[in-house]
Amino acid sequence: MNRRSSKDSRQNIIDAAQRVFLLHGYEGSTMRMIAEQAGISVGGIYLYFKNKEELCLLLIDERLKEFSEKIDAALKKIEDPIDALREYILLSIEYAKKHNEFIITQSREKGFTFGIDIKREFFKRQKEVIKGIIFKGINKGIFVNCNIEEATRVIMGVIRGFVLSLVVDPDNLFDARQCSELILSGLLSRSN
Amino acid sequence: MNRRSSKDSRQNIIDAAQRVFLLHGYEGSTMRMIAEQAGISVGGIYLYFKNKEELCLLLIDERLKEFSEKIDAALKKIEDPIDALREYILLSIEYAKKHNEFIITQSREKGFTFGIDIKREFFKRQKEVIKGIIFKGINKGIFVNCNIEEATRVIMGVIRGFVLSLVVDPDNLFDARQCSELILSGLLSRSN
DNA sequence: AATTCATATGAACAGACGTTCATCTAAAGA
DNA sequence: TCTTTAGATGAACGTCTGTTCATATGAATT
């Protein structure tokens, strides 16, 4: 039992948990698995985290924040609403490929409460981002004057469709580019 | 301990399981819960079903078959590919509202691959149905000449997006009608 | 009434999991 | 060198779950 920096140990646990949750999901991951991956005892985890749930919630929070920052950074550099929306969809789908496990996490088993506040907050913010892009597009006369709320829901729904397809039918994923073009031409384009 | 018809008891268990899985998901449902709902002892369940997994798989199978039959019956009466596709999407989304618990099923050991063989078979058949509609539409000159495989993937992805939204963000569901119009106009329509 | 049959019961079992905590130990400080 | 500190250990605990199986019981038959 070597003495290690508590900072390192904490990070080791976090990294290990990320890997284990990714492979096995929340319920399928045990603290023993995570401990092994982290190279620390199972009791040692509780020196840093209150419990399994807190550990997972922290990861969810981090990942979703990370995504939001990525999006903000990317959109800051894009002026054209068409390019912005296209970029949003593509980034979303790319991110989903890596972190879908935190979106479809066990909400049902915990009575829809597990991480639900974090996710709701996240969805709310993403919704505002999309609405902002659409609104700007309409103002510039690029997009049709549509129901922004509804268009936003469709876009988010489509991205979620990709997420779920990753999980249940990974051999049949639609093309991210074609999908963004569908939304641009079918939902928002003035060329109709 | 009253004597009951074994047939009734079996059905009671199935009905109860359906209700419990719907509310709590697979992992969140215990055999004790199901037994209570069915009005039978927990050991009594094993007189009819081998185990929890078999009970759930049977339900998944039944529900997906039921849906397929509904779809087939409805499409049999529709000649126009536009109406057919529209009907397909609407029926899918309506059914998802009632039975999404069998599409997003997760177990501790198998994660989302629980029941995956049944689901794969189901997806395969639905894919053929959609492709059939698109193919007919193209032949009649109603739909654009597109990549049928990819169009099918997009359609299935969009429906899955609705399914997942039901679970993680039920307050923001897109409108089924608008969505089917999006697909019709943005993906397949010759009016572009 | 006694026996058989069909259905049911629920305590007990085995296993698994998250968590606790008495104990340990190496490193740092006095 | 001795004491303190910081970090770690892992067996044990309590709880829960799926499943088993010895036993029970009411209805039907003899």
Domain boundaries, chain B: 1-49, 56-188
What the block records as the tokens of A104 is 């479809």
Q: At what angle do helices A176-183 and B176-183 cross, to 10 degrees?
A: 110
| Domain B56-188 fold | Tetracycline Repressor; domain 2 (1.10.357)
Q: Do domains B1-49 and B56-188 have the same CATH topology?
A: no
Q: Collect all residues of chain A within an 8 Å Cβ-Cβ radius of residue B116.
A: 168
Residue A48 pLDDT greater than 80, yes or no = yes
**Taking the mean position of all CA atoms in its chain, how far away is CA A95?**
6
| pLDDT single digits (tens) A132-159 | 999 999 999 999 888 999 999 999 999 9
**Taking the mean position of all CA atoms in its chain, how far away is CA B65?**
9
d(Cα A16, Cα A20) in Å, to the nearest integer?
6
Q: Does A153 touch chain B (CB under 8 A)?
A: yes
Beta carbons within 10 angstroms of residue A4's beta carbon: 12
Q: What is the mean pLDDT of residues A11-17?
A: 95
Instruction: Provide DSSP, B10-75.
Output: HHHHHHHHHHHHHHHHHHH--HHHHHHHHTS-HHHHTTT-S-HHHHHHHHHHHHHHHHHHHHHHHH
Residue of chain B with shortest Cα separation from A183:
B186
Give yes or no for CB of B3 within 7 Å of strand D: yes
The kind and range of the H/E element at B47 are none
Q: Predicted confidence band at A192 (pLDDT cuts at 50, 70, 90)?
A: very low
Q: Predicted confidence band at A189 (pLDDT cuts at 50, 70, 90)?
A: confident
Q: Does A110 touch chain B (CB under 8 A)?
A: yes
Q: How long is chain B?
A: 192
Give yes or no for CB of A5 within 7 Å of strand C: no
d(Cα B59, Cα B7) in Å, to the nearest integer?
16
What the block records as the tokens of A165 is 């397809």
Closest CA to the C1' of C16: that residue is A30
Give yes or no for CB of B11 within 7 Å of strand C: no
d(Cα B122, Cα A169) in Å, to the nearest integer?
11
Q: Tally A–B CB contacts below 8 A.
A: 150
Do the chains contact at B185 and A162, CB–CB below 8 Å? no
B51 CA, D21 C1': Å apart: 15
Per-residue confidence of chain B (192 residues) as pLDDT tens digits?
A: 566 788 899 999 999 999 999 988 898 899 999 999 999 999 999 999 999 999 999 999 999 999 999 999 999 999 999 999 999 999 999 999 998 888 888 888 888 889 999 999 999 999 999 999 999 999 999 998 889 999 999 999 999 999 999 988 889 999 998 888 888 887 777 654
A4 or B79, greater pLDDT: B79
A33 CA, C17 C1': Å apart: 11
The CATH number fitting domain A59-188, selected from 1.10.357.10, 1.10.530.10, 3.90.950.20, 3.30.360.10: 1.10.357.10
Give yes or no for CB of B4 within 7 Å of strand C: yes
d(Cα B166, Cα B172) in Å, to the nearest integer?
8
ipTM of the complex in this document: 0.87
A33 CA, C24 C1': Å apart: 23
Do the chains contact at A154 and B178, CB–CB below 8 Å? yes
d(Cα A56, Cα A49) in Å, to the nearest integer?
10
d(Cα A67, Cα A75) in Å, to the nearest integer?
12
Q: Collect all residues of chain A within an 8 Å Cβ-Cβ radius of residue B153.
A: 165, 172-175
Q: Does B178 touch chain A (CB under 8 A)?
A: yes
| pLDDT single digits (tens) B132-159 | 999 999 999 999 888 999 999 999 999 9
Q: Predicted confidence band at A20 (pLDDT cuts at 50, 70, 90)?
A: very high
Cβ-Cβ contacts under 8 Å for A94 (sequence gap 6 or more): A176
Cβ-Cβ contacts under 8 Å for B78 (sequence gap 6 or more): B84, B87
Nucleotide nearest to A46 (CA to C1'): C19
Give yes or no for CB of A23 within 7 Å of strand D: no
- Check residue A176 and report its DSSP letter: H
Residue A80 pLDDT greater than 80, yes or no = yes
Do the chains contact at A182 and B186, CB–CB below 8 Å? yes
Give yes or no for CB of A58 within 7 Å of strand C: no
d(Cα B79, Cα B45) in Å, to the nearest integer?
46
pLDDT recorded at residue B62: 95
Q: Does B39 touch chain A (CB under 8 A)?
A: no
Residue A2 pLDDT greater than 80, yes or no = no
**B188 in Cβ contact with A171 (< 8 Å):** no
What CATH number does the domain located at A1-49 have? 1.10.10.60
Q: Collect all residues of chain A within an 8 Å Cβ-Cβ radius of residue B161.
A: 156-162, 164
d(Cα A133, Cα A101) in Å, to the nearest integer?
27
- Check residue A188 and report its DSSP letter: I
Percent of chain A exceeding pLDDT 90 equals 67
pLDDT recorded at residue B109: 84
Residue A111 pLDDT greater than 70, yes or no = no
d(Cα A115, Cα A60) in Å, to the nearest integer?
8
